[in-house]
């Protein structure tokens, strides 16, 4: 049979009155038949990607605690008197790290050390961060970092995103995120259809454990846990896709088209004097090594402008441009305001407040922080860990159901259960099929690692169905028994 054949195969012949009353046959709707088969195959083929993503994501949830254990002496400053000037702290970092250029300074707040970030061409997208005690200007040590993340956090982040395989490995996480939403929604739809409303309400919170063992008991745990996790899994799928390789690119293009992306902040200094012959300047400050005293001037301007808490001060990248100061507090309520400052006069030349960002940009930023376990602190970490553990259990129960449904008769033994019968699409009305195909094509374009595997599944399933029909037609027909 092909995937376009009606679910359940041939219709049984009606009983004659002599056979007694005909039993009530509950026919599966076409949409449910197709969804069940798709849910089964997606679960079997995509579940390994989900399992790895959940396992590596679970490990990533504890990175703040790991950082404090492994790098506590570098990240934490000793209590004491008032902090030294940023000029002294930057000078101390420069003395300990004479190579490279200062790319940013993150002043220490709330007992944290000041981080002085150095960029070097040979490091690629990595940087060297020197940790300075703000009260003594003593260098506590240095690490190779990635976007301010420590080596342990970077290693676990790479493991979760790409399995340390670079761009090639990013496909695995995008496959998982692209199919997770369909598995969650499809699973809830199938669960909703299985029982009466009273049964559904009762087993929304507690699985139906009336069966002592077997596939029914496993399905109860699988279904109820999946319903519990559904909203969280949809969130992880959506936020994971926003920075995936292909779907994330489409998402970014859509935000740009809607003018709903993160606003740029202008660093242009109108009327800035051109650089003199033989030198480059940042608004009058010689380019190259940034003057450490300028960091204090820019920090004072940021404080006067109302910025507080953790901040990142970045020197201008081009001669004659303003420096930027960005708040980096990603814990709710977040502080993400940014300003541009003339490094000579200390005047604020541009500002971008988080409250003024487009709504989609705000939601995207908050979603990323929540996905990383930062938005709500330890509570966020616990929720993510629970989601990861629950997803691991759902995957294991799914494979267990596949094994429990295997044929066990001596003449029909198999290692795993047979898939649900083909034939969901043929029973759909044309007015539902055509819009559904158009919607699927649009989603498949936006999520290539959903559309591509889905098309491959349909093609392979149609081919296998055609081969099965040919084998049945070619099989010899057994003669009817004599007598009677």
Give residue 25's pLDDT.
Answer: 46
Structural domain spans, the chain: 261-269+285-372
The DSSP result for 387-451, as a single string, is HHHHHHHHHHHHHHHHHHTS--STTS--SSPPPPPS-SSTTS-HHHHHHHHHHHHHHHHHSHHHH
Give residue 3's pLDDT.
Answer: 37
350 beta partners: 340
Rounded CA gap, 398 and 220, in Å?
11
Give residue 318's pLDDT.
Answer: 86
Give residue 143's pLDDT.
Answer: 98
Of the CA atoms within 13 Å of residue 169, those in its CB half-sphere come to: 12
CB 39 within 8 A of CB 424: no
119 beta partners: 101
Residue 37's φ and ψ, nearest 5 degrees, are: -65, -40
Give mean pLDDT in consecutive 10-residue pieces for the chain, a chain of 484 residues.
Answer: 37 44 58 83 92 98 97 92 94 96 95 96 94 96 96 97 94 96 91 67 74 86 93 96 93 92 90 41 46 94 96 92 96 96 95 96 96 96 98 96 82 72 68 82 93 86 80 71 53
Give residue 381's pLDDT.
Answer: 98
Q: What is the DSSP letter of 62?
A: T
Rounded CA gap, 381 and 370, in Å?
9
Which residues does 460 contact at the CB level (< 8 Å), separation at least 6?
Answer: none
Give residue 277's pLDDT.
Answer: 35
Range 449-457 contact pairs with CB under 8 angstroms and sequence separation of 24 or more: 449/171, 449/174, 449/175, 449/178, 449/179, 449/244, 449/246, 449/247, 450/178, 450/179, 450/182, 453/45, 453/46, 453/175, 453/179, 457/38, 457/41, 457/45
Which helix (DSSP H) or strand (DSSP E) does residue 175 occupy?
Answer: helix 170-194
Rounded CA gap, 166 and 363, in Å?
28
Q: Which CATH number fits domain 261-269+285-372: 1.10.10, 3.90.180, 3.10.450, 3.30.70?
A: 3.10.450
Rounded CA gap, 444 and 243, in Å?
17
CB 152 within 8 A of CB 70: yes
Which residues does 98 contact at the CB level (< 8 Å), separation at least 6?
Answer: none
């Amino acid at each position: 049979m092909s995937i376009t054949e009606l679910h359940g195969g041939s219709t049984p012949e009606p009983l004659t009155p002599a056979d007694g009353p005909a039993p009530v046959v509950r026919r599966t709707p076409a949409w449910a038949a197709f969804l069940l088969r798709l849910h089964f195959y997606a679960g079997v083929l995509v579940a390994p990607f989900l399992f790895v993503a959940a396992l590596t994501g679970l490990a990533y949830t504890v990175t703040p605690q790991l950082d404090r254990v492994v790098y506590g002496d570098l990240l934490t400053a000793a209590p004491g008197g008032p902090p030294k000037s940023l000029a002294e702290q930057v000078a101390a970092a420069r003395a300990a790290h004479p190579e490279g250029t200062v790319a940013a300074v993150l002043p220490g707040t709330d007992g944290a050390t000041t981080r002085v970030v150095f960029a070097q061409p040979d490091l690629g997208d990595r940087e060297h961060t020197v940790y300075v005690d703000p009260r003594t200007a003593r260098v506590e040590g240095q690490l190779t970092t990635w976007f301010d993340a420590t080596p342990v956090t970077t290693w676990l982040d790479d493991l979760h995103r790409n399995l340390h395989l670079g761009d090639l490995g990013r496909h695995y996480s995008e496959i998982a995120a692209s199919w997770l939403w369909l598995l969650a929604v499809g699973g809830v739809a199938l669960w909703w259809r299985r029982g009466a409303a009273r049964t559904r309400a009762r087993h929304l919170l507690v699985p139906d454990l009336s069966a002592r063992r077997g596939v029914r008991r496993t399905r109860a745990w699988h279904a109820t846990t999946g319903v519990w996790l559904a909203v969280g899994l949809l969130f992880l799928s959506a936020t994971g896709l926003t920075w995936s390789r292909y779907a994330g690119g489409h998402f970014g293009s859509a935000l740009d088209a809607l003018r709903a992306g993160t606003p740029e902040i202008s660093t242009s200094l109108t009327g800035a004097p051109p650089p003199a012959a033989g030198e480059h300047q940042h608004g009058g400050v010689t380019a190259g090594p940034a003057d450490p005293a300028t960091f204090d001037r820019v920090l004072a301007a940021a404080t006067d402008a109302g910025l507080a808490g953790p901040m990142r001060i970045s020197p201008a990248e081009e001669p004659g441009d303003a420096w930027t100061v960005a708040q980096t507090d990603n814990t709710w309520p977040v502080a993400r305001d940014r300003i541009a400052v003339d490094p000579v006069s200390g005047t604020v030349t541009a500002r971008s407040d988080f409250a003024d960002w487009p709504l989609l940009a705000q939601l995207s930023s908050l979603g990323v922080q929540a996905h990383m376990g930062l938005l709500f602190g330890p509570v966020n970490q616990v929720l993510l860990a629970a989601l990861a553990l629950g997803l691991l259990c759902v995957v294991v129960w799914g494979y267990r159901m596949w094994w429990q449904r295997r044929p066990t008769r001596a003449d029909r033994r198999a290692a795993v259960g047979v898939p649900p019968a083909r034939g969901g699409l043929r029973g759909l009305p044309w007015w539902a099929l055509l819009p559904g195909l158009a919607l699927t094509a649009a989603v498949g374009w936006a999520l290539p690692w959903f559309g591509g595997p889905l098309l491959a599944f349909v093609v392979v399933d149609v081919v296998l169905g055609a081969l099965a029909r040919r084998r049945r037609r070619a099989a010899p027909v057994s003669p009817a028994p004599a007598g009677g």
